[in-house]
């Protein structure tokens, strides 16, 4: 995929699926496949802090085999050094991971770099840092990650909307039941893990969140 195509897809992206086995109800492969079947997932991030590089590579290869035919971007959490080996579209770094500048150096100018943000100041720094997009959170309590900050809810989204011209994905405990609260606060995108993968029907959960974000049942890729 060309760099321009990656960034065009990112600009259109609304629903960003964060994949961790712990978030899944049942086998992770089945949950992810059912979520992708919805046709509304635009980006998949593989986030498995506990896997060694060999196991992470194998899992990323499985995801790449599903995401490429679906026209879905694949992002690796933290492991910038594995992006080229997996033909991933980019890397996402948090505050305890590589700095954005170092991640960019490793993956090069053609791949995407995302960064976690937690307030309007950090959101405003997304573009100047050289990142292509940001995650914003936590919005709600979540069982899949130990939170270092209190969830900000719709007020966090409201405070940060308009602080950057880069795509911004609210994250943290987002579900079909609460996503409309964030939309009302200005969100047009969302990053979701257990709110989709932890449901008995991941496809239906993804579609529900997609409808809330205005994606429709499916989009042209």
Q: What is the CATH number of the domain that holds 96?
A: 3.20.20.70
Active site (annotated) includes residue 116: yes
Average confidence (pLDDT) over 132-161: 90
HSE-up of 210 (CA within 13 Å, CB side)?
26
In a domain? residue 189 = yes
In a domain? residue 168 = yes
| Cβ count near 53 (within 10 Å) | 11
Helices (H), the chain: 3-12, 28-37, 53-70, 83-86, 100-107, 120-124, 126-129, 153-160, 179-184, 194-197, 202-212
For the chain, what is the domain count?
1
- Residues 99, 77: contact at Cβ < 8 Å? no
Percent of the chain surpassing pLDDT 70: 95
In a domain? residue 218 = no
In a domain? residue 90 = yes
Q: Which of 14, 34, 47, 64 is catalytic?
A: 47
Residue 185 in this model has a pLDDT that exceeds 80: yes
Residue 131 in this model has a pLDDT that exceeds 50: yes
| Distance, CA of 120 to CA of 136 (rounded, Å) | 9
Closest Cα partner for 70 from 45, 40, 96, 113?
A: 40
Active site (annotated) includes residue 145: yes
SS3 145: coil
In a domain? residue 221 = no
**Which of the four pLDDT bands, split at 50, 70 and 90, describes residue 30?**
very high
In a domain? residue 178 = yes
SS3 168: strand
Residue 220 in this model has a pLDDT that exceeds 50: no
Average confidence (pLDDT) over 147-159: 92
In a domain? residue 160 = yes
**What are 90-106's pLDDT values in tens digits?**
999 998 899 999 999 99
Closest Cα partner for 212 from 191, 172, 181, 173?
A: 181
| Domain enclosing residue 154, as ranges | 3-212
Look at residue 217 in the predicted model and tell me its pLDDT: 41
Q: Which of 145, 189, 199, 207 is catalytic?
A: 145
Average pLDDT, rounded, for the chain: 95
Q: Which of 9, 34, 64, 116 is catalytic?
A: 116
| Cβ count near 45 (within 10 Å) | 25
Average confidence (pLDDT) over 48-64: 97
């Amino acid at each position: 995929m060309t760099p321009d195509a990656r960034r065009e897809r990112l600009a259109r992206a609304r629903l960003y699926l964060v994949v961790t086995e712990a978030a899944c109800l049942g086998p992770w492969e089945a949950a992810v496949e059912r979520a992708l079947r919805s046709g509304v997932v635009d980006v998949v991030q593989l986030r498995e802090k506990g896997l060694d590089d060999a196991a992470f590579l194998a899992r990323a290869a499985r995801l790449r085999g599903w995401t490429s035919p679906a026209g879905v971007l694949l992002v690796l959490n933290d492991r910038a050094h594995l992006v080229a080996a997996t033909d991933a579209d980019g890397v996402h770094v948090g505050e305890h991971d590589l700095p954005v500048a170092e991640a960019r150096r490793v993956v090069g100018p053609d791949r995407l770099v995302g960064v976690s943000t937690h307030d309007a100041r950090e959101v405003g720094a997304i573009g100047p840092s050289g990142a292509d997009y940001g995650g914003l959170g936590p919005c709600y309590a979540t069982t899949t990650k130990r939170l270092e900050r209190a969830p900000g809810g719709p007020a966090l989204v409201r405070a940060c909307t308009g602080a950057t011209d880069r795509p911004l994905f609210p994250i943290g405990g987002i579900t079909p039941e609460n996503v409309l609260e964030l939309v009302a606060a200005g969100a047009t995108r969302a990053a979701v893990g257990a709110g989709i993968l932890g449901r008995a029907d991941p496809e239906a959960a993804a579609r529900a969140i997609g409808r809330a974000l205005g994606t429709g049942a499916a989009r042209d890729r």
